[in-house]
Structure 1
Amino acid sequence: MNRTPPPRLLPSVTTPLLTLYSAALVLALAATAPWWLRELRPAGKYREGFAERLGRIPRRRLHAPAAGEVTLWIHAVSVGEVLAAVPLVAALRSALPHARCYVSTTTRTGQQIARARFGADSVFYYPADFAFAVRAWLRFLRPSLVVLVESEFWPRFLIEAARTGVPVAVINARISDRSWPRYQRLAALWRPLLGTLSLVLAQSDRDAQRLRALGAPAASAIGNLKYDLPPPLPTPLLDQLRQAIQAGAPVLVCGSTLAGEEALLLPLLPEHTVTLLAPRHPERFDEVAALLQASGRPWSPLSLWRRDPQPIAPGTLLLLDSVGELAPLYALAQVAIVGGGFLHAGGHNPLEPASLGKPVVIGTGYANFLEIVTTLRAADAIRIAGLPEIQQTIAHLLADPAQAAALGERARAVCAASSGATSRVLSALLPLLQPQPALGTGA
């Protein structure tokens, strides 16, 4: 059975609004040129993958699809989306053993995790939203299906995919309270663009309702893929730390902290604990190291410690200055603190420590993970604390191990009970995989 082609784009989008959007994008790049030049220096975080973002195919590294091969393009913006995609990619590879899955990311940390999980020959940087860059990747990959993880909508990309007849599915979709007013103001733009989508699977009923209001065809709630990521397995570093930390020393793991949070949290954390800090962004490792040096407490970067492991006494600060190693280290924690919400930056995913049965504390700014936090709160499986309460909240959990353990077990139970979205997404995606029509070049 042939797949029904996507709806035609309205002229109002393909002409004046699209022209205005493209012009605004060019002007924005011109206005920010000094910043981009700085970031493109050898040490700049955007230097890596810059050519790929502009449509250059790294053929010596990226495995080219064979003629007639079924190819799937899965776009996962950063670390959270990459991890959410891991069970789905495994399920797709199992269901379609002769197909090839390619994964794109936007951030450098996401790229590093994706290469480690999926292999460097199938991972690349997502193109900038210019026609020439998007078309170059569509021609190279010849995708049978594009899957966007969460609400990563770029107008030019959606238009070019529709023009070439490639079905685009959005999974794990969400629209946060913070983003919703902006989408509503541009509803005239989004309605025809989202109308080109072949499938929209949302995290919750509220997300589905918002997407339908914006023009997404029959958006439906199917659950959150992030519950399906299995608990992280032990690693050699975890085993080394377990052996080195003094018996009975309480351990705090502060993961995914953002700029400014470490300076606010450190004075509030008990000094008798071993505290492991894991900044969200690797370009901040030196900045956080300087902060720990100035704290007056004994400290060490783990990259240095692991070369010559020494006993770790209570009161020690440890800096996780590597990418992709945080999740298993939550197993050390008597209390896990997940950053991103103490300065109201939207928060980060608390499910990694929750899946390990750890008591989790987050800040009050968790808008980006509202569905997950609401589910955990309903089961009394998480603690939410502003900076004035964080000290007391941690002290109570450390002083009452039974209460902390019960909190962690409730969190683990929520993760288990909420799983299953991957199989539902897979069942919805497979019918879209029909023979790929010939690609056009567009106007």
Structure 2
Amino acid sequence: MRQLYSFFIQVFEWLLPVLGLFSAKLKEFRQVRRDVFSKLRSDLHSDDQVIWVHAASLGEYEQAVPVLEGLRENYPAAKIVLTFFSPSGYSVRKNTPLADVVTYLPLDTLANAREFVGLVKPILAIFVKYEFWPNYLHALQRQKVQTLLISGVFRESQPFFKWYGSWMKSSLSAFNYFFLQNEESLRALNKLGYSNAAVSGDTRFDRVARQRTYDNRLEFIEEFRQNQVLLVCGSTWPEDEKLLIDFINNTAAKVVVAPHKIEAEKVDRFIKQLKRKTQKYSGYDKDQLRSAGVLVLDHVGLLSKVYYYADVAYVGGAAGNTGLHNILEPATFGIPIVTGMHIEKFQEAQDLRKLAGLFTVSNPDEANSVLNKLIADKAFREQTGMIAGHFISSQTGATKTILDYLNSQTLTA
């Protein structure tokens, strides 16, 4: 079956130049991967000790950050190669100081996997969450590279547990150790016959907890907020905006809206629905900002700091089917969270809702009710926020467990 899988991946790679004529996304997919091997040959030398970290996208990168920081500290002589599969990760973090080389991961063909591992020659490979590429894992195992999965998640809905994907189980033998997010994942992995695993937790908790120690000050938010109650609506999609528009138009609170996709036409269309004075971050005027009721954050990379100023946060993605965005970033600052209803696949959101630190809403009336209470009732707001902050603090420690394990190992080329 691995041969059949490899054949189809190879055919897809061969067809990409043609498919790219009909799809801009596939054209970009091919173009950004064309120079990966030449970049590796240019940036790496035969005597480099390399640690390879792979994250599918931006979310997985955020999970890797505290481990990357630890690797920088513990292995200062090593070069870190960071790969992404998705443009949303690479385009935002291609200049991160936490890695020496940042690039895309070529498709999982036999030839690509062999060439990539042969060029990088890692002394350690780390995959994040549920990145399982059989040919890359096979190549790492053949070269006897120490390989870890961090913040791992296993569910019985994954291909490993289905008749058509059971062949992939053997590729998991490439991992020396699995650091898992929860007991459910451990039980699922055990069913596959693997016991070299521990429940360490999710490194995202360490990542967001560290945000509290950084300088989060933003002058433009202080100008906008003017010591009023602030609602921050982060990573919103059109479905979220439909839930929120009535509340935003009628609340006395200041509101920041940070759309997930920053496209000028869509941002302007949203602003036209607002009845309150609104400013965009791009090209804002200080005097106008002070008197505005709504600020649209049409810029990436600031949201985690904006949450520092929030009294209440609405986190987007769960009003539709796009997937809930990061609730941990606002929760770490001890503020209550509101989301859409679709949180079934997001354990941290389900756990926080059980603790009454997160509320889900399904329509504008419910959104109005919950948000009005949180805005108006300071004691209720602070009590709910305290639950969210404690939830973050109680879940930290995964990074230390991973780094302690690595410190007990001998990493050699």
Q: Same fold (TM over 0.5)?
A: yes
The amino acid that maps onto 1:392 is: S
- Calculate the aligned-residue CA RMSD, in Å: 2.8
The amino acid that maps onto 2:37 is: R
Instruction: Give the equivalent residue in structure 2 for 1:277.
Output: 257
The question of 1:146 aligning with 2:102 is answered: no
CA contact (8 A) 2:141 2:174 kept: yes
| Distance (Å, rounded) in 2 between the aligned partners of 1:224 and 1:120 | 21
Instruction: Give the equivalent residue in structure 1 for 2:32.
Output: 49
Residue 188 of structure 1: CA displacement? 2.0
| Distance (Å, rounded) in 2 between the aligned partners of 1:365 and 1:166 | 39
In 2 relative to 1, CA 116–218 (structure 1 residues): closer, same or farther, beyond 3 Å? same
Q: After TM superposition, what 4+ stretches of structure 1 lie above 6 angstroms from structure 2?
A: none
CA contact (8 A) 1:379 1:410 kept: yes
Instruction: Give the equivalent residue in structure 2 for 1:440.
Output: none
CA contact (8 A) 1:75 1:103 kept: yes
CA contact (8 A) 1:109 1:323 kept: no
| Distance (Å, rounded) in 1 between the aligned partners of 2:373 and 2:31 | 45
Q: Deviations over 1:254-305 (max 9, x none)?
A: 11223543344323445333322222344x4542333223545433321221
| Distance (Å, rounded) in 1 between the aligned partners of 2:287 and 2:19 | 47
In 2 relative to 1, CA 300–35 (structure 1 residues): closer, same or farther, beyond 3 Å? farther
- Unaligned 5+ segments in structure 2 are none
Q: Deviations over 1:167-201 (max 9, x none)?
A: 32111001357x44774344522221112221111
Residue aligned with 1:310, SS: helix
CA contact (8 A) 1:73 1:147 kept: yes
Instruction: Give the equivalent residue in structure 2 for 1:33.
Output: 19
Q: Percent identity?
A: 26
In 2 relative to 1, CA 387–34 (structure 1 residues): closer, same or farther, beyond 3 Å? farther
Q: Which has the larger displacement, 147-156 or 270-279?
A: 270-279
Q: Deviations over 1:49-99 (max 9, x none)?
A: 3325xx433259x742x4333211111222222122111111122222222
Q: Deviations over 1:73-129 (max 9, x none)?
A: 111222222122111111122222222222112223322443354357422112221
Choose between structure 1 and 2 for higher RCO, CA contacts under 8 A separated by at least 6 residues. 1
| Distance (Å, rounded) in 1 between the aligned partners of 2:21 and 2:385 | 44
Which of 319, 333, 343 aligns to 1:342? It is 319
Residue aligned with 2:39, SS: coil
The question of 1:137 aligning with 2:121 is answered: no
The question of 1:106 aligning with 2:85 is answered: yes
CA contact (8 A) 2:82 2:99 kept: no
CA contact (8 A) 1:252 1:337 kept: yes
Matches within 5 A, 1:158-197: 158-176=137-155, 179-180=157-158, 183-197=161-175
Q: Which has the larger displacement, 324-333 or 105-114?
A: 105-114
| Distance (Å, rounded) in 2 between the aligned partners of 1:187 and 1:219 | 21
The amino acid that maps onto 1:410 is: I
| Distance (Å, rounded) in 2 between the aligned partners of 1:240 and 1:397 | 24
- The number of residue pairs the alignment matches comes to 406
Residue aligned with 1:145, SS: strand
The amino acid that maps onto 2:205 is: Y
| Distance (Å, rounded) in 2 between the aligned partners of 1:40 and 1:235 | 38
| Distance (Å, rounded) in 1 between the aligned partners of 2:168 and 2:331 | 36
The question of 1:21 aligning with 2:5 is answered: yes
Residue 331 of structure 1: CA displacement? 1.8
Which of 65, 69, 81 aligns to 1:86? It is 65
In 2 relative to 1, CA 18–376 (structure 1 residues): closer, same or farther, beyond 3 Å? same
| Distance (Å, rounded) in 1 between the aligned partners of 2:298 and 2:113 | 34
Q: Which has the larger displacement, 252-261 or 197-206?
A: 252-261
In 2 relative to 1, CA 347–137 (structure 1 residues): closer, same or farther, beyond 3 Å? same
| Distance (Å, rounded) in 1 between the aligned partners of 2:321 and 2:191 | 27
In 2 relative to 1, CA 128–262 (structure 1 residues): closer, same or farther, beyond 3 Å? farther
CA contact (8 A) 2:249 2:274 kept: no
Matches within 5 A, 1:24-423: 24-26=8-10, 30=15, 33=19, 37-39=23-25, 46=29, 49-52=32-35, 55-58=36-39, 63-64=43-44, 66-118=45-97, 121-176=100-155, 179-180=157-158, 183-229=161-207, 230-232=210-212, 233-235=214-216, 238-248=218-228, 250-258=229-237, 260-272=239-251, 273-282=253-262, 284=263, 286-305=265-284, 308-312=285-289, 316-370=293-347, 372-387=348-363, 389-423=366-400
| Distance (Å, rounded) in 2 between the aligned partners of 1:88 and 1:181 | 28
| Distance (Å, rounded) in 1 between the aligned partners of 2:71 and 2:325 | 27
TM-score with structure 2 setting the length: 0.87
